[in-house]
Amino acid sequence: MQDPTDFPVLMQDCPRFGVVFIITKLGNLYMYEVSTAALLYRQKFTDQLCVVATRNPKTDGMIVINKAGQIFAINVEENGLIPYINSAGHIADNKQLSFKLAQRFHLSGADDVFVQMFNQKLASGDYAGAANVAKDAPGTLLRNSETINKFKSLPQMPGSPAPILIYFNSLLQVTKLNAIESVELAKPVIAQNKLNLIENWIREQKLTMTDELGDLIRQANPALALNIYQQSGSPEKVIQGLIETGQLEKIMPYCEQTGHIADFVKILRQIMPINAQAAVGLAQMVTSRDNGAPKAQIDQVVNVFLEFNKLQECTAFLLEALKNNRPDEGHL
């Protein structure tokens, strides 16, 4: 305290930002960082004694009432805290403190500090530490293709795993890989035919499910790719996966369940060279009038059979499809 007669009368912690507010008898506000007790901010805001204070549940700040009945709201500006600390010369080791706060509370404004810390750890050979910095950096500031390529280009130390594996292992221990990381990790795992690792990571929800990841795995394990497509939410890819895994009977129920309007003529073209008999069953379902309007026109379906010269299958389809003897279908 600057004035020897001044002393604290009210205090409120702010866990959201790791600070504590202290209000003194003479109306001074002090804000400290709790782990280092560093004084971040000081200001006199009233000449009257403050008599009561409480936490603001919306902002994690402080609401104060003084003896004159004035009400004050004391809050931390989330986007301004880190830039303020970075430029505050009165705070000892302010860059390191801003990095720790940004890392711990996922605050914006410390991008340069994260990049600098990441490069320092990388240059010193602390690859796991660099991975942890990347993990805590905001968004994709460091968790991107550029970072992955940096780790790939690093030399492997004798008796140690490849730096890129250290990077991925460090992330997998504490967090979920993003879309780019998931694909990049899957590439060497597939090349080594260790798909069981990918299955384990999917069960543990350590990978981000995307069409690109499914496409990568599709040739090696269509069933696993289908699982990924189902989680990534791509209807066309799911239908493709059902076809490739021979689960044709699930296509119609899937479309009905998800409300997806599929191009069944296109789907029949995919199925026809693989399993013409299954195509007959699907063709009958999509042209049926039992549950309202048909999903595909009979003429279009017949053309698909003829394109592949499947005359016997086409006849089997038509015997069922034309059983109602509708005049408008007489030409068929």
pLDDT by residue (tens digit) across 149-200? 999 999 888 888 889 999 999 999 989 999 999 999 999 999 999 999 999 9
Per-residue model confidence (pLDDT) at position 161: 87
Residue 213 CA to residue 179 CA, distance in Å, equals 8
Task: Read off the tokens for 20.
Answer: 């504590």
The answer to whether residue 99 is domain-embedded is yes
283 and 315 share a domain?
Answer: yes
The helix/strand/coil state of 57 is coil
The answer to whether residue 267 is domain-embedded is no
244 and 320 share a domain?
Answer: no
Task: Read off the tokens for 231.
Answer: 């989680």
Of the residues 131, 153, 175, which one is the last residue of a structural domain?
A: 175
224 and 206 share a domain?
Answer: yes
The answer to whether residue 83 is domain-embedded is no
Q: What is the mean pLDDT of residues 57-69?
A: 94
Residue 28 pairs in a beta bridge with 44
Q: Nearest-CA neighbor of 239 among 216, 205, 217, 211?
A: 211
Per-residue model confidence (pLDDT) at position 1: 63
240 and 164 share a domain?
Answer: no
Of the residues 175, 195, 230, which one is the last residue of a structural domain?
A: 175
Q: Nearest-CA neighbor of 155 among 177, 122, 194?
A: 122
- Would you say 156 and 162 are in contact if contact means Cβ atoms under 8 Å apart? yes
138 and 187 share a domain?
Answer: no
234 and 303 share a domain?
Answer: no
- For the chain, the average pLDDT equals 89
The answer to whether residue 82 is domain-embedded is no
Number of domains in the chain: 4
Per-residue model confidence (pLDDT) at position 71: 96
Domain span holding position 319: 272-332
Of the residues 150, 175, 200, which one is the last residue of a structural domain?
A: 175
Q: Report how far apart, in Å, the C-alpha atoms of 118 and of each of 45, 132, 163, 224 are.
A: 40, 9, 14, 35
pLDDT 10s digits, 252-305: 888 888 888 888 888 888 888 888 888 888 888 888 876 667 888 888 888 988
Per-residue model confidence (pLDDT) at position 111: 87
Pairing label, strands 61-66, 71-74: antiparallel
Other CB atoms within 10 A of residue 42 CB: 15
Q: What is the mean pLDDT of residues 317-331?
A: 82
Q: Nearest-CA neighbor of 33 among 94, 78, 87?
A: 94
Continuous H helices in the chain: 78-87, 94-105, 111-123, 127-136, 145-153, 163-174, 179-191, 195-203, 211-218, 222-232, 235-244, 251-258, 264-271, 276-287, 298-307, 311-321
Q: Nearest-CA neighbor of 217 among 238, 198, 245?
A: 198
Q: What is the mean pLDDT of residues 227-233?
A: 90
**pTM, rounded to two decimals:** 0.71
pLDDT 10s digits, 113-149: 889 889 999 999 899 999 999 988 888 899 999 999 9
Lowest model confidence (mean pLDDT) among 21-30, 183-192, 204-213, 312-321: 312-321
The answer to whether residue 287 is domain-embedded is yes
